[in-house]
Amino acid sequence: MRSDVLLRPVLGALARLPLSWWFGISNGLAFLMYRVVRYRADVIEANLKIAFPNSSALDRKQWSKAFYLHFADIIVEMVQSLAVSEAEVRRRLILENPEVFERLYQQERPVIVVWGHYTNFEFMAMGLPLLIPQKTFAVYQALRDPGMGSLIVDIRQRFGLVLYEMAETYPFMLGNPEPGPAYIFMADQSPAANKIKYWGRFFNRPTATHLGVENLSKKIDAAVVWIDAQKVQRGHYRLRATLLAEHPEQWPDHTLTQAHLDRLEAEIRAYPPHWLWSHKRWKHVVPE
């Protein structure tokens, strides 16, 4: 029996609990991850030392503790997304300047939307189709558990987001007949060791970085829009769009990739706990 057969009705019923109740659950989950399980504590500490080598042990402890609470919020908000209404998404996810997307849509320009694993990236992806006029697409990597994979896909696609397999990225985007589509890309995904083609500078450290945003934007003549995200309170997010590159073909090689890395770094430095520190971002080392 697939795992989602039992999970769906249970989570669906729980998802209808008020969001304030969910944050009570989140508090307990954060305590378990931080104090009891110590979920990826070594990875989080190592990443914080890499990013902030001059920080004190007290600073890193405070950031780590705040990260666990934020991470727990992401988990419970994803479950709650099974039942969240369109009106509630629009109330909790605000795009300050939709005119950036509206102008590009009027021109029928494809758009590549870039952000990192900052604030609630899952809620942002699910809700973005409600905030912009473009038909919105995002890449999806299948999970080993098909039941859980199906559940996550259904949550992400609730409000119009369309997912496509990672292996189909280039053929799908090059052949997509949709006029002026928008594609969501994550700026901080780590490439497989055998696919590293560029080492960007991220927190003053050579960092293996995908070139997909840069390469694909040039191939399909897509404008590149960066999204800054801010968690204004638990469950509520404010986004701001910046037209990073209107004509990417005019950018020299790797400069556009470095530009979105710089944007993400500035966002993280502004408030470190809201980045996904449990992700092994620096698992690859530059060959000598």
The domain segmentation of the chain, as residue ranges, is: 3-274
pLDDT tier at 145 (50, 70, 90 boundaries)?
Answer: confident
Encode pLDDT of 193-205 as tens digits: 999 999 999 999 9
pLDDT at res. 87: 97
Average pLDDT, the chain: 94
Encode pLDDT of 38-61 as tens digits: 999 999 999 999 999 999 999 999
Q: What φ, ψ does residue 85 adopt, rounded to 5°?
A: -85, 160
Going by their DSSP bridges, the two strands 111-115 and 182-186 should be labelled as: parallel
pLDDT at res. 149: 81
pLDDT at res. 147: 77
Q: Among positive and negative, which fits the CA dihedral 122, 110, 266, 261?
A: positive
Encode pLDDT of 2-11 as tens digits: 666 667 787 8
Q: Which residues, in sequence order, are CB contacts of 130 under 8 Å at separation 6+?
A: 86, 89, 90, 93, 159, 160
Give the chain's radius of gyration (CA, Å): 19
pLDDT at res. 5: 64
Q: Which amino acid is at 59?
A: D
The whole-angstrom separation of Cα 161 and Cα 155 is 10
- pLDDT higher than threshold 60 for residue 176: yes
pLDDT at res. 7: 73
- pLDDT higher than threshold 70 for residue 259: yes
pLDDT at res. 4: 65
pLDDT at res. 3: 65
Q: Where are the beta strands (DSSP E) in 69-196?
A: 93-95, 111-115, 136-140, 162-165, 182-186
Which whole number is the average pLDDT over 77-92?
A: 95
Structure tokens at 225: 């829009």
Q: Which residues, in sequence order, are CB contacts of 214 under 8 Å at separation 6+?
A: 248, 251, 253, 254, 256, 257
- pLDDT higher than threshold 60 for residue 256: yes
Structure tokens at 68: 């666990």
What's the predicted TM-score (pTM) here?
Answer: 0.94
How far from the centroid of its chain's Cα atoms is residue 41's Cα?
21
Residue 196's SS3 state is coil
pLDDT at res. 122: 96
The whole-angstrom separation of Cα 226 and Cα 18 is 32
Structure tokens at 233: 């309170």
The whole-angstrom separation of Cα 155 and Cα 102 is 26
Residue 208's SS3 state is strand
- pLDDT higher than threshold 80 for residue 283: yes
| pLDDT cut 90: percent of the chain above it | 85
| pLDDT cut 70: percent of the chain above it | 98
- pLDDT higher than threshold 70 for residue 1: no
The whole-angstrom separation of Cα 242 and Cα 114 is 10
pLDDT at res. 2: 64
pLDDT at res. 15: 85
- Give 177's Cβ-side CA count (13 Å radius): 0
